[in-house]
Amino acid sequence: MKAVDDRAHLVDVDKLLAECARAMGAEVADDSISDRKALNADYFFVRHRVVAELKCLEKDYWGDQAFKERVSAMYASWVARGLVRPRAGGRFHVQLGNLPKTCQQEFIARLRNKLASGVKQANRQIRSVMESKDALDASGVLILVNDGNPSLSPPMVRFLLSSLLNNHNRAISMVIHLSTNMFVTAPSVGRPVLFWAPWEIPNRQPVTEGFVEELRENYFRLLSADGAVGEIHTDDNAMLEDLQYTRAYFKPV
């Protein structure tokens, strides 16, 4: 595969993950004829006792006019409250590290709210499968693919999700955050790569040993069918801090 600077011919994430799940013997919601499948999680990995739901970040927040208008209103509020100085020409670029703590908290809360509904829905869908399959001993996994939102860096996503999952959405035991159509760069690697970053939520039902690695191996095996794919996989927060999205996408060669 090679990098391109547009979104033409992108990998179909839903199709790829469904194929990966089937290869692991999982039950896939799309294969069901039930009229309730939209209410259920996407995959039940019976052998591993894992229920997983796929969510994709597909819209760049800064490409959303309504979001930009809300941030502009927030900025005007900060100026009115004397928290920041007015910028020449009224243009404002968010750099969290340069904002007062109060402004940081308000902006992060805005981002967290945009993720909250998807996380709550995933929790309900995972719980629904656990109950319908009599699998309350299973672990719940949220598979979160960034498929077009470079505004949310990997460390920012982990920070936001941690706040949403701490003492809430308790059907979710693990998050696997990854990219499929978007490259990241890092000082430790010499070229743009995809990333795979799992982390477990403390004090939840543990995910069975070997599940994450088997899923990752199958996923990248299928993804690289059209050519070699560079990848970086880590559960290290420090390494996540180094990852930055490029504006290039994957395209089969």
Domain boundaries, the chain: 2-60+118-251
Q: What percent of the chain has pLDDT over 90?
A: 42
State the pLDDT at residue 5. 44
Question: In angstroms, what is the C-alpha Rg of the chain?
Answer: 19
Q: What percent of the chain has pLDDT over 70?
A: 85
Q: What is the pLDDT of residues 123-156, one digit of tens each?
A: 999 999 999 999 999 999 999 999 888 888 888 8
State the pLDDT at residue 39. 63
Flag whether pLDDT at 252 surpasses 50. no
Of the listed ranges 5-9, 25-29, 162-166, the one predicted with least confidence = 5-9
Q: Could you tell me which residues come within 8 angstroms of residue 136 by beta carbon, excluding any fewer than 6 positions away? A: 130
What predicted TM-score, i.e. pTM, was given to this entire model?
Answer: 0.85
Q: What is the mean pLDDT of residues 207-221?
A: 93
State the pLDDT at residue 38. 55
* Mean predicted lDDT score pLDDT of the chain: 84
Flag whether pLDDT at 71 surpasses 70. yes
Q: What is the mean pLDDT of residues 158-176?
A: 93
Confidence of residue 85 (pLDDT cuts 50, 70, 90): confident
Confidence of residue 247 (pLDDT cuts 50, 70, 90): low
The gap between the terminal CA atoms of the chain, to the nearest Å, is 5
Taken in order 156, 246, 122, 239, the sign of the CA dihedral is negative
Flag whether pLDDT at 227 surpasses 60. no
Of the listed ranges 18-22, 39-43, 208-212, 243-247, the one predicted with least confidence = 243-247
Confidence of residue 84 (pLDDT cuts 50, 70, 90): confident
Most confident range, picked from 30-34, 50-54, 68-72: 50-54
Flag whether pLDDT at 17 surpasses 70. yes
Q: Report the C-alpha gap between 242 and 235 in whole angstroms.
A: 13
Flag whether pLDDT at 177 surpasses 90. yes
Q: Which residue in 20, 22, 13, 23 sits closest to 55, CA to CA?
A: 13
Separation of CA 147 from chain center: 8
Strands 244-251 vs 2-4: parallel, antiparallel or unpaired: antiparallel
CA angle 124, 174, 186 (to 5 degrees): 125
Of the listed ranges 65-74, 99-108, 136-145, 231-240, the one predicted with least confidence = 231-240
